[in-house]
Amino acid sequence: MIERLDQIFVLLKHWLVGYLPASWQIPVGVVISVACIVGLYPALFAITTVLERKGVGRIQNRLGPNRVGPYGILQPMADGIKSLTKEDIVPTSADAVVHFLAPIILVVTVFMGFAVLPMGRNMVLVDMDAGLLFYFAMGASTELSVFMAGWSSRNKYSLLGAMRGVAQMISYEVALLLSSVVIVMMAGSLSLVKIVEAQNHYTWGLPHWYIFTPWGFAGFLMYAIAGTAETNRSPFDLPEGESELVAGYHTEYSGFKFALFFLGEYVAMFSISGLGSTLFLGGWMAPLAVLQFVPSWIWFFGKLFVSVDVVIWMRGTLPRLRQDQLMNFAWKFVLPMCLLNLFVAGLWRFMGDGWLRWAVCSVILILAYVSIGREGMRRKHFGPRSYRYAE
Amino acid sequence: MQEAIAFTPQIDASGITQWLWLIPALPILASGIISVLKQPRRKLASNLAIGSLGISLLIAITAFAHVLSGWSHGYAVREVVNFSWIQVGTQPVELGWVLDPLSAVMLVMVTFVGLLIFIYSTGYMEQDENYTRFFCFLALFAGAMLGVVIANSILLLFMCWELVGLTSYLLIGFWYQRPSAAAAARKAFITTRVGDIFFLLGIVWLFAQTGTLLFYDHGAGSLEQLALGGLLIHHSHWGLTAAGAIGLLIFAGAAGKSGQLPLHVWLPDAMEGPTPVSALIHAATMVAAGVYLVARVYPLMSAGAIAHGEAPGTTPALMVITWVGASTAVFAALIAIAQNDIKRILAYSTVSQLGYMMAGLGVGGVAVGMFHLITHAFFKALLFMGAGSVIHGAHEEQDVRRMGGLRKYMPWTFYTYAAGMLALCGFPLVFSGFWSKDAIIEAASHWRTARTPYFMLLFGALLTAFYMTRQVSYVFFGEYRGHGHAHESPRVMTAPLAILALFAVLLGALGTPAWPWFKNFLEDHPAAFAWKFEPGFGGLLLTSSVIVGLGLGLGWWLYGNRSPRAEEPDALQKAVPPLWNVLANRLYVDELYGATVIAFYYWWAKVADWIDRDIWGDMVATIALLFKGWAQLNRFLDAKMVDGAFDKGCEEIYNGGGILARVQNGRGQIYLRLLAVAVVILAAILIWSGRQ
Amino acid sequence: MGFVFYLISAFAVGGALAAVLLKNLVHAALALTIAFFGLALLFLRLDAQFAGFAQILVYVGAVAILVVFAILLTRGSEIPKEGVFSKGWIAGLAISAAVFAVLAWAVLQAAPWLPNEAATPALTVNDIGNALMSRYVLPLEIIAVLLTAALLGAVIVAMHEKEKTNQ
Amino acid sequence: MIVTPLAAYLIVAALIFAIGLAGALVRRNAILVLIGIELMLNAANLNLIAFWRYGPHPELLTGMMFAIFSIAVAAAEAAVGLGLVISIYRHAKTTDLELMNRMKG
């Protein structure tokens, strides 16, 4: 019974496909899975928008949307209808083709990432041998769409936003990669499924997630930072910093295209969170051995939601960085820490079991954090921001 | 040698040998940490350096004890740890380290002296703003030097060797703001490079011949019977075996590092560096590295020698080493007489002492040379640090004529310095220098090949005593002629002096002919306390004592207790001016190089120019003439046709030249085009020829 | 001789053509990325997963972005009046055509001896990793050094001169 | 089992190479010349991988490694080349190769 519940979606798919001739089964099955993904995440996106607006409203001590439906639950519907019915404006001087392609490419590449993400036991579209590499390849391609959007709409705010966005994404993509490479080193595979399997055992009912190791923890922090920056979420949302550039690279977008950008941003956030929970939080595994009876997909999406909530919470809490601060932070703190983390992981690997490696690795990382994070950043005049008033 | 066979060589590596790599690793690690320290972290830097070297010293002592115990149980301890570094093709590049009496003794010496000098420099460099940088370099140097000492793979040895060279460059040029210092650093670096080229050649040849980079590898190493036998097979011309030739090449490298005759010029200039550096690098350790290298590859040098009785036999390589060493000894000693910079005097004396060591290696084998190396390391470091303390006390004054009477102002320095000076002169019976130098002279007296080195070395001893007396009486006796008020140096500087002075005296006890402990230790004989002297030994003892006494007396008679003013000429100058001038100009060696090497290049350039102008030009002219004549002839024969053809040809060539000139128009794409065209043509030809 | 292959090749070649021919440099760069994508797909079709994804990651993710940045920094996005093609463009075209002709000729000459099909190699990314760490470790090191040097060199070359930054 | 013959891949590679060469030869803008060079490099990579795939010993990974290393080298080359273009632009205020013929032979 529990097995059934766990595998329910897989079984459903097989049952559906079962009625087809054998030659059709595989393609149709793929189509069905793709359809599920493409249908599911926009739905999550709808829920999340309400969640976010409500949550941020609470944080900012105001009621969020509360007009449409009970407690404003139906707000996303209203938004969706509005953006669909709105007029789609393309600036006359804009480069029409590119301007049109940008949002599509963004959404497509972002959705591609889910292809290799295991969302539950046996619930992965393709278990690619180089899954992680594929994911990052796709992630890299999103930058291009950002640039296209900014450049094509012939508007200085858009261009500035795009430039900021691309620079930021490139800088943080390095950190993202390096912080995940640690996991690859340890799991000995680039396939996300195998990575989850590698974390799939318990001692005294406690899971062997990678976050519960010094290098894993450090890596997770780095990953979280880099991921937040990669998805242009606050506090790293300079590319669309309203106070500075009207709306960044999608200033000139309206109607459905804008909705696509919005969607793309949120879905990217989902996929980053999903990858994070796959790499560090044991993917679809139960946090306790006793809870294994709960279906795996619930765990996956639970973790995904928790991390998304944390991101929203950060948005409500932290102020936006300045561009130079952003870059300094990426290249002078996150990157060195990631490199050091690689070294520490190697050390861990070769020190064998025992408490000693825990002590050594933790000490190294903490020392590095203190020296780089405190000393280095202070020397780089990287402390509290200073305002200059126009007189 | 013969008894050594009776010893069962024990090769399996024990625990201590497994950890031997820590000795060089620690200082290098320390220097790495220091290099990232911020400038104000002075104390931490020096503590790191000193601490790391201290730990290395402890490990070294443990290793030494291990070797000692093995030896006292009748083992020839030689433990190696080898590992494959990287795989180049199918050939593994192997590194490794070795623990045997030679390296053990050297390790203890280097770490100990180094530690003292580190401590001393905390006092000496106190005011310098680049304190941390200094200790970074110093620690790096110590690590590299220790690496040289323990290396069992000639490649590893060479790496550390070059690292040593680099650090010495950095340290000589430590005060790079001074142009003189920068120049000296460059000079040192380049001069030693000259030697190292030969060294590298030797390494390559050795590798090619023996197929291994390791010295000792359970019988397969390049210094073990098998390989040596292989090296001895082929006699090239002048009865030089491969072993001999490789030995000579390696010796060239050694000569470069430890300032042997042709390549000694850098060492005196190296005194531009801070005095602790002079003490550490250019007295105790680095310059000794050359000697150590020769000692390390001694089996190679002496391969094929037939030992007769007490004195080991000789080979071409050893003969060269002996002659070079002996002549260096005398030569440098001569120059040292007429120097006025306190450190230069010591530098030249270092060169001459290194000559002694080389000669000792040549005539008497490893033990004789190494013994002098060790004792010299101690008392020369002592002298340099004493000189440093003097300079410090006399307000950075380096000219001996502007000192004097310091005996009263800095007693500690004086007594320790005196001890060092007497040791260097080889004052009979009490001081270590006497025994070590005497061993060399004795060995020279037994040398079969020639007597001359023996007399040269005796003469050198005389000179040594003479110039040291001159220096000491200049510096410490008479009236103080310097500026300001001289003062004793801080305790942190004098304490190391005292310790070193103690050793400068005591070390002699290890090598007295009565109880040649050191020799036996290095040559794997059991230690024997025997009163057996070969005939003429007492006479020899007497001779050298008399020589030393003579030197001292002469020096005292010329310079003793009079305090000449700086501007008035030197006593010796008054006695024999021409001699003085020659010496004062350092026997014109630098000028000689200027007049030979550099002049040769000028001359060569001139010749080339002349060839280019006259010979070439004339040839072209003649050819032109010939053609002209030919053309004339043709006109007479068949004017029209040939003439027309000739003109056409000329035009064609001219136009062709024009076209080619137009192609060369500085636009990349055109070049790219030509490239592509060429590719097309070549490929087409290729395929055409390929198809059937 | 699959239809897919034709499709992908057309994709790649078209992208390349567009990259070379388009007047607006930014369009050219975007077309270039299309060509890169097509080539990556070809790699994938040749069972070279790792190389394919590396291709996308490096070229689309980094090189294309670099090119775009360079274009914007050198004001390349507006079209020069004196035209985008150099004076001797016919010659250039002819030469490149000749190059293609020769290469194609060579291939066709050799075609009879070239294999037409091959068994899919059973290779995982792990094998590549092991090979990189064992057999090709020296090249890997050298590449690492090269990349570092290139990084520094690029920064230094593209960096403003001192006096420019000071004022 | 794949059915596309090696020759087809080689032809495609040759075509892309020729296109890249054309780009490098006929365009004025230095950046586009670089683009052409990148295309040529990619064509070479395609060749390498194709030969690896059809070669007798794919398990030795030689061609694959070649391709991977050349991708890395190409990245370095692009970085340095574009850096050069930018610095040239800073000096000459143009990226037009027609005007960059100061160094006549």
Closest by CA to A157, choosing from A68, A59, A243, is A243
User: Do residues D21 and D6 touch, judged by C-beta distance below 8 A?
Assistant: no
Share of chain B above pLDDT 90, in %: 1
State the first-to-last Cα distance of chain C, in angstroms, to the nearest integer. Answer: 63
pLDDT band at residue B4 under the 50/70/90 scheme:
very low
Q: Is C102–B683 a contact, with Cβ atoms under 8 angstroms apart?
A: yes
Q: Using alpha carbons only, how large is chain C's radius of gyration in Å?
A: 21
Find out whether A5 and A295 touch, Cβ atoms under 8 Å.
Answer: yes
Residue-wise pLDDT for B399-449, tens only, equals 777 777 777 778 888 888 888 888 888 877 777 888 888 888 888 887 777
Residue among A157, A325, A125 at smallest CA distance from A229: A325
N residues, chain D: 105
Tell me the backbone φ, ψ of residue C73, rounded to 5 degrees. Answer: -70, -30
With CB atoms and an 8 Å threshold, state whether C139 touches D69: yes
Q: Which of A249, A151, D25 is nearest to C71 (CA)?
A: A151
Mean pLDDT score, B12-23: 75
CA-based nearest residue in chain C for residue D79:
C154
SS (H, E, C) A90-112: CCCCCCHHHHHHHHHHHHHHHHH
Residue B434 · residue B513 · CB < 8 Å: no
Give the separation between CA A30 and CA C137, rounded to whole angstroms. 39
Q: Which structure tokens are listed for B225?
A: 């019977």
CB atoms closer than 10 angstroms to residue B267:
30
> Rounded to whole angstroms, how far apart are CA atoms C133 and C2?
36
Cβ within 8 Å of residue B392, ≥6 positions away = B124, B489, B493
In chain C, residues 97-136 whose CB comes closer than 8 Å to chain D: 97, 99-100, 103-104, 107-108, 110-111, 114-121, 123, 127-128, 131-132, 136
Could you tell me which CATH number the domain at C1-79 has? Answer: 1.20.120.1200
C vs D: CB pairs below 8 A: 261
Does the residue D73 lie in any domain?
yes
pLDDT in tens, D10-61: 889 999 999 999 888 888 888 888 889 999 999 999 999 888 888 887 778 8
Task: Please tell me which of the candidates C91, C109, C138 has its beta carbon nearest to residue B687.
Answer: C109
Q: pLDDT per residue over A327-369, tens digit each?
A: 878 888 888 888 888 888 888 888 777 788 888 888 888 888 8
DSSP H helices in chain C = 3-21, 25-45, 49-55, 64-73, 89-110, 125-134, 137-158, 162-166
Q: Are strands B91-99 and B79-88 parallel, antiparallel or unpaired?
A: antiparallel
| Alpha-carbon dihedral angle through residues B246, B252, B253, B257, given to the nearest 10 degrees | 150
The answer to whether D98 and B667 have CB atoms below 8 angstroms apart is: yes
Per-residue model confidence (pLDDT) at position C167: 38
In this complex, is the C-beta atom of C60 within 8 Å of any C-beta atom belonging to chain A? yes
CATH of the domain at D29: 1.10.287.3510
- d(CA A238, CA A249) in angstroms, rounded, equals 10
Q: Is residue B515's pLDDT more than 70?
A: no
Q: According to the model, what pLDDT value does residue C77 have?
A: 66
Most C CBs within 10 A among A190, A192, A193, hence the mutation to make, goes to A190
DSSP for A338-379 reads: HHHHHHHHHHHHHH-SSHHHHHHHHHHHHHHIIIIIIIIHHH
- Residue B250's pLDDT band (cuts 50, 70, 90): confident
pLDDT exceeds 70 at position B14: no
- Convert the pLDDT of each residue in B87-105 to its tens digit: 766 777 788 888 888 888 8
Rounded to whole angstroms, the Cα distance separating A165 from A147 reads: 8
Q: How confident is the model at residue B692 (pLDDT cuts 50, 70, 90)?
A: low
What distance in Å separates residue D2's CA from the closest CA in chain B? Answer: 29
D100 contacts in chain B (CB < 8 Å) = 666-668
Distance CA B130, CA B136 (A): 10
Cα separation of D20 and A91, whole Å? 34
B261 close to B585: Cβ distance less than 8 angstroms: no
What ranges do the domains of chain A cover?
2-74+83-375
Give which of A225, A232, A214 is closest to A175, Cα–Cα.
Answer: A225
Give residue B524's pLDDT. 66
**Cα gap A44→A6, rounded to integer Å:** 20
Task: Report the complex ipTM.
Answer: 0.71
Residues 6+ apart with CB under 8 A from B660: none
Nearest alpha-carbon partner for D39 in D12, D21, D65, D64: D21
The residue that leads in pLDDT, B13 or B506, is B506
DSSP helix, strand, coil percent of chain B (3-state; round to 5): 75, 5, 20
Per-residue pLDDT of chain A (391 residues; tens, 9 = 90+): 777 777 778 888 888 888 888 888 888 888 888 888 888 888 888 888 888 888 888 888 888 788 887 877 888 888 888 888 888 888 888 888 888 888 888 899 898 888 888 888 888 888 888 888 889 888 888 888 888 888 888 888 888 888 888 888 888 888 999 999 999 888 888 888 888 888 888 888 788 888 888 888 889 999 998 999 888 887 888 777 677 777 778 888 888 888 888 888 889 999 999 999 988 888 888 888 778 788 888 888 888 889 988 988 888 888 888 777 788 788 888 888 888 888 888 888 887 777 888 888 888 888 888 777 766 666 555 555 555 554 4
D63 vs C85, which has greater pLDDT? D63
Can you give the length of chain A in residues? Answer: 391
pLDDT at B651: 80
- Chain C: give the shortest CA distance to residue A348, in Å: 19
Residues in contact with B232: Cβ distance below 8 Å, sequence separation at least 6, in sequence order:
B241, B242, B243, B303, B304
Which of B670, B684, B691 comes nearest C102 by C-beta?
B684
Beta strands in B45-201 (DSSP E): 75-77, 79-88, 91-99
Residue D23 in any domain: the answer is: yes
- Residue range B451-486, pLDDT digits in tens: 888 888 888 888 888 888 888 888 887 777 767 777
Angstrom distance (rounded) from CA B332 to CA A329: 60
Please give the radius of gyration of chain A, using alpha carbons only, rounded to the nearest integer: 22
Chain C, 73 to 92: residues with Cβ < 8 Å from chain A are: 77
Question: Alpha-carbon distance B460 to B425, whole Å?
Answer: 10
Residue B83, CA distances (Å) to B86, B87, B97, B395 in order: 9, 11, 9, 52
| Residue B214 pLDDT grade (very low, low, confident, very high; cuts 50, 70, 90) | confident
Crossing angle (nearest 10°) for helices B452-476 and B342-364: 160
Most confident of B201-205, C155-159, D26-30: B201-205
Do β-strands B8-10 and B75-77 pair in parallel, antiparallel, or remain unpaired? parallel
Distance CA D60, CA B128 (A): 59
% pLDDT > 70, chain B:
83
Q: Is residue D10 part of a domain?
A: yes
Task: Say if C and B touch: at least 3 Cβ pairs within 8 Å.
Answer: yes
User: Which pLDDT tens digit goes with each residue over B345-361?
Assistant: 888 888 888 888 888 88
Of the residues C84, C93, C95, C108, the best mutation for testing chain B's interface (the one with the most B CB atoms within 10 Å of its CB) is: C95
Token couple for B238: 């002048």
Is residue D58 assigned to a domain? yes
Cα distance between residue B578 and residue B572, in whole Å: 10
Mark out the alpha helices in chain A (DSSP H runs).
2-6, 8-18, 22-59, 75-85, 96-112, 131-152, 156-187, 192-198, 214-230, 255-279, 296-317, 323-328, 335-351, 355-368, 377-379
The amino acid sitting at B412 is W
The one-letter amino acid code at B509 reads: A
Chains A and D touch (3+ CB pairs under 8 A): no
Which among A140, A151, A163 has CB closest to C61?
Answer: A140
Instruction: Note whether residue D35 is domain-resident.
Output: yes
Nearest neighbour of D104 by CB, restricted to B664, B668, B672: B664
- Domain span including residue D67: 5-92
What phi and psi, each to the nearest 5 degrees, are found at residue A73?
-60, -35
Distance CA(C100)–CA(C108), nearest Å, equals 12
pLDDT of D17: 92
- What's the rounded Cα separation, in Å, for the pair B264 and B191? 8
- Using the Cβ of D38 and the Cβ atoms of chain C, whether some distance falls under 8 Å is answered with yes
Look at A129 and C124 and tell me if their CB atoms are within 8 Å.
yes
B665 with D102: Cβ contact below 8 A: no
* Confidence band, pLDDT 50/70/90 cuts, at residue D105: very low
Per-residue confidence at B642, pLDDT binned at 50, 70, 90?
Answer: low
Q: What is the pTM of this model?
A: 0.60
Confidence (pLDDT) at B586: 64
C53: closest CA of chain B, how far (Å): 30
Q: Measured in whole angstroms, how far is the alpha carbon of residue D39 from the centre of its chain?
A: 4
Is D103 a domain residue?
Answer: no
D55 within domain boundaries: yes
* CA–CA dist D45, D64 (Å, integer): 9
Interchain CB distance below 8 Å, D105 and B666: yes
Whole-angstrom distance, CA of residue C14 vs CA of residue B23? 64
Residue of C nearest to B672 (CA): C92
* Partner residues linked to B97 by β-bridges: B81, B151
Q: From the list C53, C77, C124, which residue is nearest A137 (CB)?
A: C53
Task: Give me the pLDDT at residue B3, please.
Answer: 35
- Name chain D's partners: 3 or more CB pairs within 8 A: B, C
Residues of D in Cβ contact (< 8 Å) with C17:
19
Which secondary-structure segment (H or E) carries B537? helix B537-559
* CA-based nearest residue to B283, from B147, B211, B364, B384: B384
Print burial letters for A283-299: b (CB count within 10 Å at least 16), e (below 16): bbbbbeeeebebbbbeb
In a domain, D37, yes or no: yes
Q: Can you tell me the distance from the alpha carbon of C73 to that of A151, in angstroms, rounded to the nearest whole number?
A: 13
Residue of B680, B688, B691 to mutate, interface with C, max C Cβ within 10 Å: B680
pLDDT of residue C27: 87
Residue A212 near residue A186 (C-beta atoms within 8 A): no
The number of domains in chain D is 1
Strands B8-10 and B79-88: what pairing?
unpaired
Instruction: Please give the single-letter amino acid code of residue B121.
Output: S
CA B329, chain centre distance (Å): 14
